[in-house]
A and B are shown apart, each in its own frame.
Chain A
């Protein structure tokens, strides 16, 4: 009975992974089908032509460029704001801390459509109040508003990552540096930030990918500009050719490559760690033997 349940669990897990991956496989395979509508059936022969069409699609390239710019800006601002917020949260306590913390993480739960609409309305209204009908740059719809809207919740994710890292920080190090005559800037730059770098790096990566994925906020703030997600969306709704599948396949490949690089790095550091531990154990055993 026990064995049977174990086997069932394994079968279920296998089926689940299949369920998660098969749509991606089908989507990728359709990129090579010589058929005007994107599908794998009926198979009309192998072709590269959708990749060529994708290569020649200027609108796509423009959207791609926009996506990268937005994602870089979001990552940069979110990391700065999120790190500052984490340091602040870590240094206050009591009611102030719970109010600040509650406000910060509640942004993760606000629906994207609400963030997009509220950001759009506030900035354009502010521009209207300050300058009248002829509003200058930051107060008009556009991708810069998408950046601000996305930062409003992505900064919270960065904040959580950095805050987790701060828990393992020994504040005595800062005290020691101050006692030895370090300036405040040096304490920040040489002591605190280096300790936070792994979390900041992870935060930047998460922010970058969250931004690329984002649709809801962008859709309501973008004005007339395209990002990749918006472009794909508009293509799916209005006459679609398998060029989108070609694009999807390339994005999946990039994702896979990044995932594999990450996994290899992780394994390498894990085996290094294991080796180090074994070394330490051997040294300890040796010491004991000598004594």
Chain B
């Protein structure tokens, strides 16, 4: 710090500190503290705010347990509160999306890092970057067109005589999954690609010379080396999927509900901001837990993930 004052003077140092403080305090820490504080307050008419009824309560969090629905996965039937169900399904499907993204991205990342001629790499990047730069809402909308009942996908498959008549693609969570995978798979490709590129190709060749089959080379050499990249891709894809609001709203069916949609309903439809705060906080906790677990499993640091 004294080094900084010596270089840039007291005034500039103070300005730099103030700007950073404004960001971290006013835009990050304070809003989240307010969020936590609000989540424990009851929803009251304006005149009663600050009155005798305005006391701290966990009632907003308890709303998660209201309203049972019957679910029967794998033949077991049991009752579950509807928001708990939404919450669990959001986590479950986000994990599935993350896995699918990894399975799709890994071969391509390996191809780009080790097989493709480095001269064609910029072109490849350009081709992949174009969809990334097109906004998320339009990417979801594009799939909305493709998956429509009488849309291009059904039409093509009918004309190829693969199916007899149009299929309703957007049922359950299908549409949401397809949309999320398409939208976020690129966030898996780039970190995995970066990790694999830093692997010395000689290691792969040495393993080949020693007679290792291709799957063992991947399992014992490439995958362990790519671990930090996979972790950072997995965290990005999971967070973006679980926090996505656009894709589930556009590609959701009548039976799919995403947790962010529930939060949105509390905030914008019910106008109950305090309950929305409680639900948003649950979402935040879930995401933090996921990141910590992934960091533990893959033994990586937060700074590795953000890069």
Residues of A participating in the B interface, judged by any CB pair closer than 8 Å: 5-6, 9-10, 12-13, 16-17, 19-21, 23-24, 26-27, 30, 37-41, 80-81, 84-85, 87-88, 91-92, 100-115, 117-122, 125, 133, 148-149, 151-152, 155-156, 160, 171, 174, 178, 183-185, 187-188, 209, 212-213, 215-216, 219-220, 228-229, 232-233, 236-237, 244, 248, 251-252, 255-256, 258-259, 263, 266-267
The bracket for how many chain B residues form the interface is 35 or more
For the complex formed, measure the closest distance between the CB of B225 and the CB atoms of chain A, giving whole angstroms.
18
Q: Scan B224-239; emit 1 where CB is below 8 A from any A CB, else 0.
A: 0000000000010001
Instruction: State the CA gap A19–B101 with chains docked (Å).
Output: 13
A212, closest chain B residue (CB): B135
For the complex formed, measure the closest distance between the CB of B42 and the CB atoms of chain A, giving whole angstroms.
15
B12 on interface, CB distance cutoff 8 Å = yes
Contacts of B9 in A (CB 8 A): 183-185
What secondary structure prevails in chain A residues at the interface with B? Answer: helix
Instruction: State the CA gap A5–B204 with chains docked (Å).
Output: 15
| B122 & A125 in contact (Cβ 8 Å cutoff) | no
5 closest Cβ contacts across the A-B interface? A111-B243, A184-B9, A118-B31, A23-B142, A152-B27
Assuming the contacts A110-B284, A111-B284, A233-B249, asked whether A21 and B131 have C-beta atoms less than 8 A apart, the reply is yes
| B182 & A92 in contact (Cβ 8 Å cutoff) | no
What secondary structure prevails in chain B residues at the interface with A? Answer: helix
| A152 & B1 in contact (Cβ 8 Å cutoff) | no
| B137 & A259 in contact (Cβ 8 Å cutoff) | no
Contacts of B29 in A (CB 8 A): 103
Instruction: State the CA gap A111–B281 with chains docked (Å).
Output: 10
Instruction: State the CA gap A256–B127 with chains docked (Å).
Output: 10
B95 on interface, CB distance cutoff 8 Å = no
B141 on interface, CB distance cutoff 8 Å = yes
Contacts of A117 in B (CB 8 A): 35, 263, 267, 273, 276-277, 280
Supply 28 A–B pairs (Cβ within 8 Å), ascending by A.
Answer: A9-B110, A10-B111, A13-B108, A16-B108, A30-B145, A41-B151, A41-B155, A87-B4, A87-B16, A107-B28, A111-B243, A113-B243, A113-B264, A114-B281, A118-B35, A122-B35, A148-B27, A160-B306, A160-B307, A216-B246, A228-B135, A232-B138, A236-B140, A237-B250, A244-B141, A248-B134, A251-B134, A255-B130
| B31 & A119 in contact (Cβ 8 Å cutoff) | yes
Assuming the contacts A27-B138, A81-B20, asked whether A9 and B151 have C-beta atoms less than 8 A apart, the reply is no
Q: Scan B283-307; emit 1 where CB is below 8 A from any A CB, else 0.
A: 1100100010000000000110111
B206 on interface, CB distance cutoff 8 Å = no
B74 on interface, CB distance cutoff 8 Å = no
Instruction: State the CA gap A148–B268 with chains docked (Å).
Output: 20
Assuming the contacts A12-B111, A266-B122, asked whether A84 and B243 have C-beta atoms less than 8 A apart, the reply is no
A209, closest chain B residue (CB): B133
| B131 & A20 in contact (Cβ 8 Å cutoff) | yes
B212 on interface, CB distance cutoff 8 Å = no
Q: Scan B1-43; emit 1 where CB is below 8 A from any A CB, else 0.
A: 1011011110110011101101110111111101100100000
For the complex formed, measure the closest distance between the CB of A245 and the CB atoms of chain B, giving whole angstroms.
8
B246, closest chain A residue (CB): A215
Contacts of A21 in B (CB 8 A): 127, 130-131
Contacts of B144 in A (CB 8 A): 236
B260 on interface, CB distance cutoff 8 Å = yes
| A252 & B134 in contact (Cβ 8 Å cutoff) | yes
